Structures are given as C-alpha cells and as structure tokens.
Structure 1
Amino acid sequence: MTAISPGAIPPSVRIPVLATYTDENGHQLPLPQARMRESFTGLQMLARQILSGAEDPLDGYDQDFTIMQMGPSAFEIEIRATAKRQNRLRGRAAAKKHLLIVATLDHFTDVLVAMGELACHIANHPDTEVRFVASCYGDYYEFLERGRVVKAMEAGAVELLVTPESVEILRVILANLKQPGVAYATLTKRIPGMAHMRRTVVGSTQHLRDFADGGPFHLTPEMLATARSRVDTHRTEQWVQLPTSKNSHALWDEL
C-alpha cells in the first residue's frame, strides 16, 4: 500500500460490511464458492442500478467492491470509492470533498442494505400490503402485515426495486440465502468514526427460496401504482409547515 504523505487526503474511502450466513443455531455452513461469487456479482449489479441516475453522488470517484472470505460462510465485503484524479488531494476543498464522499458512501451502503432487507421481507411475506405516503420529507411506501406497518422506504428506491432488471438482480443476490440449511444472514456494518456496529438480520423461508429460484416477486409496479392512486389526502393535509432544511449538497457547500 502506498504511504500517504502528511497533509494529504486519502485517495480512497472504504466501508466494510460482514455478511454471515448461518443455520438456525447461528452456525456457519460450507457454502459453494460459485454461489458466493453469484451473490457478489448481484451486489455489484444492484450498485450500478442505484448509481445510474442522472445525479451521480460519487461523481469523480470510481466505485467498486472487494470481498474476502472470513469463515465457511462469512464474507467481508468492502465498498470502496477511489478518486479518479489523485494529484490534488490536499487542502481544505479536498478535505471537504473527502468527508462528503465518506458520508455518501456510508449512506450508499445503507441504501444497498435497506433495499436488500426490504426485498427479502417481501419475498418472505408474499401477503405484504403496500401503502403510499406523501410526506413533507418526501414520498415513501409503507409495508403492512395484518394491517400493521412493519417497513417503510423512499418511493424512488421501491420503484427501482420492482423493475424487471432489479428483480432479476435480486434473485442473483439471494443465491446464498436459498442454499440448503441457511436460516438467516447477518449483515454487520461499521459506522465510520464511531465504536458502533449496525447489524441487519434477514431470514430465509421457502417463499424466499421459491422467488430466488425464479418464482414471482410479490410486489409489482401495478401494485405501487394502485397504492399511489389511493393516497390518504387527509394524512397529507395534516402537515402545517414544510421543512426548511436544505439538501445535503447545499449544506456541504456552506462548510
């Protein structure tokens, strides 16, 4: 590894996530390497889907992944962003840009995990209901089980999740969870700058395995369109004041 001279900004940002697949007792299993690589490929494909929008939050940086096996069915995935131009990584502007990329990559990782978690929930619960909400902090969908809200996610992310391309990518990502004996996966993510870990647990049921093997995804664009058409206007009208906070990039520009 190239040494970083004093005062220079590191050329890359790394966010590690540990993915551990276990049986119902929490024991790791000897998963086929081919399935591990398949899930890893799916993760890369989903990342490209998220970053393919008009506004690339990692503009000027190359985003990629590395993976290291940590146990029979445990893998550390490192989500990375590396500056395309590394000859001016000094000074206040470079430091501010680096901090912005750290925050962006951290949030990008959260989005990846959250979308995967929601996809697993829907695959595991084919009777999930969906409700559209117009909020002062942006539109989102709520997901209900037996009339009770159990999940919520930004509208744009959910609408991306149900596209045919994303559904096929999800099947690839879930390759490990459909393996015999796997009961659940634990995703452990380090929080930059804090002695804290965020852990997300996703289970595997026969419903999920059926989806991963080519079965239907029980959330469709038509269901989302129906939910939008049934928006609760009374709930929307309850907002008496819109937030005054600026977008994240405007806040960073003030630093």
Structure 2
Amino acid sequence: MGGVGGLLREWRGRRGFSQLFLAHAAEISPRHLSFVETGRAAPSREMVLRLAEHLDVPLRDRNQLLLAAGYAPVYPQAALDAPELRRVREAVRLVLRAHEPWPAVAVDRRWRLVDGNAAVPVLTAGVAPHLLRPPVNALRLTLHPDGLAPRVRNLGQWRAHLLVRLRRQAALTADPELAALHEELRGYPGGAGPEPAEPGPGDVVVPLRLRHGDGELRLLSTVSTFGTPLDVTVSELSIETFLPGDEATADALRAAAR
C-alpha cells in the first residue's frame, strides 16, 4: 500500500496502536482514519502532522509523510556545520566541557561521533587507529575486537545492553542503516561470558566496567537530547556521558585529567 495512508499505517503498526486507539488520541473518527489509511480520503497538512505527533514519528520521517501527502516539508535540515546551527554547536560543546573530567560524546542518529570532550581518550586508549578515522561510529568503536571490547570486563552484559538498545532504535525509526549496523555488531565476538544479561540483586543500571591500568573504571551512562527540536539534525543529536559509578573511578578520572 503506497502513499501517505500506507506510510501512516506502517508507523501505526510499528507503535502497536490500533486504529481506534490512534483515532481517539488524535481526536478524529476511526472511520476517517480508516479512509486516510486506505487512500479513500486525502488528509490535510494539519492532519498529517497531528497523526505523526501521536505516532512519535521522527522529524525526518514527518517530512517524508508530508511529501507523500503532496505538501512541502516543514522541518528544516541544516548541516551541523551550517551557520544557522552555530548556537547548537556551541551548546553541545558547552555541555560536553561541563561534564569533564567525566567522558562525554555527542553522536547523531546513526551513532556517528560528532564531538567529544577532553576526557574521551580515557575510553579510547589502545583502540586501533582505523576505528578512529572519521566517520567514527561509537557502537562499532565499542564492540569491535580492535576497539574497546578487549578492555570491557563485562563485555557479554554490555554488548547485550547495546544490541537491545540498537535493535529498539532500528525498529522505532525503521532506519535500514541502523538495522544493518545491528546485524554487523551481532557478528562480533564477545557474546558469551560469565556476566548475566539479566540484572542481579540490587542492580539498578548496567555499568560499563572498563580495564584501566591495573584497575577498573565502573562507568554509568546517561543520555541527553534537545527537548524541543525543530530542525531534523538537532532532533537526531544526543549526548552520552559516562559518570563514575564509585569513588575509585571518580579519582581515576580526575587523575587522568590532571
């Protein structure tokens, strides 16, 4: 089924919504939604945007829905180095620096490294040079046998965490490149190990346990995004920060910064 109606139906299926549920949320009749999805009714521009909002469709794909319905895209898509995104770049850099001496990186929707702070070399020590040549993919860098993987002491657990996260993102966005990346990373060694993928008693987050010198860094990951983006590029940026999970890790990161 082609056209905007078919695309809307696909997005509704990905979200697991019934026609009745979506129609109620968008405050339209189920009959009208059915007509839109089957191509018997042409939705207005406002209707396309309203349905896309309730389906949590990414801004990039909302533009595609509008084009399929015969309307011009409404969300701009500027390159990150464009003059109009200068303030965004400055804000990202400010956030990254504010997290020092904790490592923090900015990535795009396909996990390509956009920027990082001065603490990132603590994570990338010993990584093969070919993995650090742009464009750098943060997930490939982490799980590749020439990357961080040999230093990750809970590789089985961390690998499972990242693959679940990537699989969910690929399903939610319907991005074939993310699906291909997921298949690539699944083929890397390191799936087996003594670390359970299921949480143990008292666990509240999955830590990244990284060998560092004669000791170990225990890092907790947090993700930040722009709360009200109107540009496609900005909506796809995220900042991942690795916070110390214990005082020994905090001391080691402060020492590395000095």
* TM-score, normalised via structure 1 length: 0.24
Greater RCO (CA < 8 Å, at least 6 residues apart): 1
Higher helix share: 2
Larger Rg, first or second structure (1 or 2): 2
* TM-score, normalised via structure 2 length: 0.23
